[in-house]
A = this chain, B = another copy of it.
Amino acid sequence: MADRVKQALFRRILSGELAPGARLVELQIAREMNTSQGPVREALRELEALQIVVTEPYRGSYVRHVSDQDTLEAYQTRGALERLAGQLAAPFLKGRTQDLRKEAEAIRSAARRNHAEDYAIHDMNFHRRIVEESRNRILLRTWDALSFEIRIRLWLAQGRVDLNAAEADHWPIIDALDRGDGKKAGRLLRQHLMFAIADVKGAVGHPAETEAAR
């Protein structure tokens, strides 16, 4: 039951029905979902662990605001994780990149249609698949915890990304993985992510990383 509440809140936040800053009152949600305070509390605490919600003692819970700084930091972290994922996944994906190519096609299609929603979905599939194929469960869990389903949507929704430019990055990554060249795949993945936030970076970043990525 706690899980159903969690999923429901998750959907409502993703859809924008619950915007950043929205208040989440435990008993009110409990009434809406035909349950009691306990399960709602659990759900909120899990969303808090995912950094989707913030709670202040005796004050209540709110949908978290995501700043440019947060996005930058999250992408830097994600870049470090995916670089490793690429290295680890390459031996397992060598000569077996059909699925990745399918997702890359879908990404290209979405980019040409300028359809941010589809782009986000297939881009997530693409990257998550590589992390899965690293065969490192802790890496996968850590990656999931960054909860990019939220961040990527919130951010693409702002229309600051050139989908067609970013889309092109995926093909060399597939090629490197197909050859089993993990080092190259890792570097390209990291670079891909760093390029993707170059604009945000200019606004809030410090110089060390920007240079390294280019």
Give A42 to B46 CA distance when docked, in angstroms.
10
Chain B residue nearest in CB terms to A139: B77
Which of chain B's residues have a CB closer than 8 A to the CB of A45? Answer: 42, 45-46
CB of A5 within 8 A of chain B?
no
CB of A203 within 8 A of chain B?
no
Which of chain B's residues have a CB closer than 8 A to the CB of A206? Answer: 91, 135
Contact of A73 with B38 in the complex, beta carbons under 8 Å: no
Residue in A46, A77, A182 with the greatest tally of chain B CB atoms within 10 Å: A77
Which of chain B's residues have a CB closer than 8 A to the CB of A84? Answer: 76-77, 79-80
CB of A70 within 8 A of chain B?
yes
Number of interface residues of A (CB under 8 A): 37
The smallest C-beta distance from A143 to any residue of chain B, in angstroms, reads: 9
Chain B residue nearest in CB terms to A41: B42
Contact of B46 with A208 in the complex, beta carbons under 8 Å: no
Which of chain B's residues have a CB closer than 8 A to the CB of A41? Answer: 42
CB of A87 within 8 A of chain B?
yes
Chain A contacts with B in 184-214, Cβ cutoff 8 A? 206-209, 212
CB of A165 within 8 A of chain B?
no
Chain A contacts with B in 119-155, Cβ cutoff 8 A? 135-139, 141-142, 145-146
CB of A183 within 8 A of chain B?
yes
Chain B residue nearest in CB terms to A182: B208
Q: 7 nearest interchain CB pairs?
A: A80-B84, A73-B138, A73-B136, A49-B49, A80-B80, A77-B139, A74-B138
